[in-house]
Amino acid sequence: MDKDLKNKSYIDLLERVIAGGQKPFAAQYLFSFIHQKDAEQIADITPLSKTFRQKLIDEGFSIGGIKLLETHDDPDGTIKFVFGMPDGVRIEAVRLRDGDRNTLCISTQAGCRMGCKFCATGQLKFQRNLTAAEIVDQVYQAEKAVGRIDNVVYMGMGEPLDNFDDVVRSVEILNDKLGRHIGIRHITISTCGLPDEIKKLALASVQPRLAVSLHAPDDAIRSKLMRIGSKYPLKEIMAALKTYQSATGNRVTIEYCMIDGINDQIEHARSLVKLLKPLKVNVNLIELNPFGGCRFDPSPPKQIQVFAKSLSDAGIETVIRFKRGRSIKAACGQLGATWLKED
């Protein structure tokens, strides 16, 4: 049985306190002290009776936490956090600054099973899924360093939908009004495209924004770049997205990494337009961020501009995402790059 109280949603805690013979308000105190006031010990939750607090401790319950091991600062204002788990596992998260707003890119797994060839994390061996507590604690620890986190993007290490239950529970926790109360429209889950889980997300208790890392206009190119491309054809992913949009009405963001000579030609743009036209989407074009051992090169800036114009002219809202945090290996696709030689 999971004994980490930080890993439980408000509903989970409510069920626990009622089973323990307590009034429902005890769950509110537990949840708010852990997720709003950053209580680290059960003894710190003073509105609860000493008897009930001691009972929780005697039953083996505790409040877990991750440890900030390192911070790395880029001149552009990006900060990379390196966190350690109690079992020695390490992960990274990235703070991006946009005016007076903070966006935090968080991890959901240590390593990744997807093996995308242009992503450093995909070259690391998969170690394990993170718990919901370890996911949300990245936000709490980052806030101690930089202040309020306004936006949370599940785009760090790992494939979020490969850790579905803990990811959804972590979104519930971050969104809960008794905790950080981060608006659901300010939370984005990114996936490389797991069709069944996309459809499952459409029926989840919370509806964050969804981003799909597509990176290719056809199956042949996608399979060369992404191991998952051979398992799930684009036709299946597009069908899942149609189901998702029918259920939620939400626009989907398409992430597309621009790789020189591989997926960046005008014919690729035209194929992408044809693929995406049936959906309500916007596209983020991302310049490839190299890492040691990566055999691809980023597309030239002029080529990215031509590609973007082709999409825009076809009526698809398109944004070029400028590289940020590259000097500290915190840019998209670089998380875990400093550990590749170690592994």
Q: Tell me the per-residue pLDDT of 86-109, one tens digit each, with 9 for 90 and over.
A: 999 999 999 999 888 999 999 999
Of the three residues 14, 38, 58, the one that is the final residue of a domain is 58
The verdict on 48 and 93 lying in the same domain is no
114: domain range? 67-339
Mean pLDDT value across residues 111-131:
91
d(CA 25, CA 40): 20
Q: How far is CA 185 from the centre of its chain?
A: 14
My answer on whether 90 and 36 are in the same domain is no
Output the domain CATH number for residue 23.
Answer: 1.10.150.530
The pair of three-digit structure tokens given for residue 31, joined into one six-digit string: 């949840």
What integer is the mean pLDDT of 24-46? 96
Tell me, yes or no, whether 245 and 275 share the same domain: yes
Percent above pLDDT 70 for the chain: 99
CA distance 292 to 304: 23
Q: Of residues 295 and 331, which shows the higher confidence score?
A: 295
Q: Is the pLDDT of residue 331 over 80?
A: no
- 86, burial (CB in 10 Å: exposed 0-12, middle 13-18, buried 19+): exposed
How far apart are the C-alpha atoms of 172 and 169, rounded to whole Å?
A: 5
* Interval 251-274 mean pLDDT: 97
- Which two structure tokens, joined as six digits, stand for 277? 């036209």
Edge-to-edge strands, sheet with 101-105: 67-73, 79-84, 90-98, 101-105, 151-154, 187-191, 209-213, 252-258, 281-287, 317-321
Query: Looking at residue 195, what is its pLDDT?
Result: 97
Q: What is the crossing angle of helices 301-313 and 266-276, to 10°?
A: 40
Same domain, 49 and 75: no
Percent helix, strand and coil across the chain, each to the nearest 5 = 40, 20, 40
- For residues 319 and 200, membership in a common domain is answered with yes
Residues 109 and 222 in one domain: yes
**Nearest one of 42, 144, 142 to 153, comparing CA atoms:** 142
CA quadruple 105, 190, 231, 279: dihedral positive or negative? negative
Instruction: Please say if the pLDDT value at position 343 is more than 60.
Output: no
**8 A C-beta contact, residue 328 and residue 73:** yes
How many domains does the chain divide into?
2
Cα-based angle 108, 186, 238 (whole degrees, multiple of 5): 70
The catalytic site residues sit at 92, 332
User: Does residue 49 sit in the same domain as residue 73?
Assistant: no
3-state SS assignment for residue 67? strand
Same domain, 82 and 184: yes
**pLDDT score of 5 more than 80:** yes
**One-letter amino acid for residue 261 of the chain:** G
Average pLDDT for residues 248-262, to the nearest whole number?
96
Residue range 282-307: average pLDDT? 92
CATH of the domain at 145: 3.20.20.70
In the listed set 14, 34, 58, which residue is the last one of a domain according to the structure? 58
Strands, E assignment, 127-236: 128-129, 151-154, 187-191, 209-213
33 and 77 share one domain: no
Is 263 found in the same domain as 116? yes
pLDDT-based confidence at residue 1 (cuts at 50, 70, 90): low
- Mean pLDDT for the chain? 94
14, 35, 58 — which closes off a domain? 58
> Do 92 and 169 share a structural domain?
yes
Does one domain contain both 39 and 109?
no
Strand ranges inside 207-267, DSSP E? 209-213, 252-258
* Distance between CA atoms of residues 119 and 288, nearest Å: 9
